[in-house]
Amino acid sequence: MSILLTGGAGYIGSHIAVELLEAGFDTVLFDSLANSSRSVVERIERITGRAPEFVCGDINDAAAVRSVFERHDIDCVIHLAGLKSVPESAAKPMEYYRCNVGGMLTLLEAMAAAGVRRIVFSSSATVYGTSGEIPYTEETPTGCTNPYGRTKLMCEEILRDCAAADGEFSAVLLRYFNPIGAHPSGLIGEDPRGVPNNLMPYITRVAVGALEKLTVFGGDYPTRDGTGVRDYLHVVDLARGHVRAVDYAMGHAGARAFNLGTGKGVSVLEMVRAFERASGVKIPYVIGPRRAGDIAEYYADCSLAGRELGWKAELTLDDMCRDSWNWQKRNPDGYGDKA
């Protein structure tokens, strides 16, 4: 069986490619390398002993996307290609709508032309907005506060409409919570450009000496230690969830959303301590003001994914910290060749 991964050279896509190849699937990675490195492909081969097909192209280039389906017999698509920075989306909304929503339409048109009707989509916990009770279930009301989140919600709605229009169409909407960690080989991992926005890459950059100290965004939230609480999950667990989602898409029509997290909240200070434990490196930090748009606390109810996909996160917070550190330590400059 052959799976097309758009955005397959990225952080999450590369880990999914490894799990799919190891499970016996064939993979085609389609990526513009806008936020990834070509060397990922060779590293995936070193881990799995199998070379994924790689096509360099833009998801909004209709001819390039169509030609992938003409040249490969694709059974299911995992759509990860897109832009993902919340602050950048507020500054450049049109770029986000063009890439994320326009890209989804281009992909769906090419799928329709090729008769491919199964898709797994990278959605986000950000679709839940700010008003829900925790833990978030798939029934928690949606409502986004930024253009990035709205692109995810719009793509979910487009996929629901496609499923409503075609009784054989299958869309699995995976709402990721906070993926961190890296493959235990240390060959692939997260490699953000410039100063990281997100907590774990910031911590690992401090640990490696590239940044001086962590600023904790807010110490006065109504949480157990005053710092923000999130549901962090290991990227390898997340990748395995996609293998289950592909199986589900092969056997079920319709559009369905699933939360993928651990179901456990971890505060910023708990994360700092867990990282120090796993790495043996002290992380200097200061408590700064809250970051605009942040929510105090949320985590997932993942029981639906357990029941329907047969998936549950297995790896611990210590595994996440150990593997993030292993990746950063072995690759202090990330992939090095990122454009």
Which residues form the interface with ligand NAD (CB under 6 A)?
7, 9-13, 31-36, 58-60, 80-84, 99, 103, 122, 124, 176, 178-179
Indicate the residue among 255 and 268 with the shorter CB distance to ligand UFG.
268
148 tagged catalytic: yes
294 binds ligand UFG, rule: CB under 6 A: yes
Q: Which does 202 bind (CB under 5 to 8 A by kind): ligand NAD, ligand UFG, none?
A: ligand UFG
Chain-centre distance for alpha carbon 86 = 14
Q: Between residues 37 and 227, which has the closer beta carbon with respect to ligand NAD?
A: 37
Please give the span between the terminal C-alpha atoms of the chain, in angstroms, as a whole number.
Answer: 32
What's the rounded Cα separation, in Å, for the pair 7 and 29? Answer: 7
Q: Kindly state whether residue 217 participates in binding ligand UFG, applying the rule CB under 6 A.
A: yes
Q: Write down the catalytic residue from 148, 176, 248, 298.
A: 148
Question: Which CB, 192 or 219, lies closer to ligand NAD?
Answer: 192
197 binds ligand UFG (CB under 6 A): yes
Binder of residue 228, out of ligand UFG, ligand NAD, none (CB less than 5 to 8 A by kind)? ligand UFG
Alpha-carbon distance 338 to 111, whole Å? Answer: 30
Residues 6+ apart with CB under 8 A from 290: 217, 218, 220, 221
Looking at residue 292, the DSSP 8-state letter turns out to be T
The least CB distance from residue 168 to ligand NAD, in Å, is 25
| The two three-digit tokens of residue 166, written as one number | 């075609």
Among the residue ranges 8-16, 53-61, 121-129, 186-194, the one whose residues contact ligand UFG (CB under 6 A) = 121-129
**Beta carbons within 8 Å of 162's beta carbon, 6+ residues apart:** 108, 169, 171, 255
Residue 86 interacts with ligand UFG (CB under 6 A)?
Answer: yes
Task: Label residue 179 exposed, middle or buried (CB < 10 Å: 0-12, 13-18, 19+).
Answer: buried
- The SS3 assignment for 3 reads strand
Binding of ligand UFG by 35 (CB under 6 A): no
Closest CA to 287 of 301, 268, 302, 270: 268
Cα(339)–Cα(333) distance, integer angstroms? 13
Judged by beta carbon, residue 36 or residue 168, the one nearer ligand NAD is 36
Residue 164 host element (H or E): helix 147-165
* H or E stretch covering 160: helix 147-165
Question: Count residues contacting ligand UFG (CB under 6 A)?
Answer: 20
Candidate ranges 18-26, 118-126, 311-319, 328-336; the one touching ligand UFG (CB under 6 A): 118-126
Q: Is 146 in the site for ligand UFG (CB under 6 A)?
A: no
Nearer CB in complex with ligand NAD: 143/219: 143
* Shortest distance (Å) from residue 261 CB to ligand NAD: 10
Binding mask 239-278 for ligand UFG (x = CB under 6 A): -----------------------------x----------
Sign of CA dihedral 269, 270, 271, 274: positive
Binding residues (CB under 6 A) for ligand UFG: these are: 84, 86, 124-126, 177-178, 197-199, 202, 214-217, 228, 230, 268, 291, 294
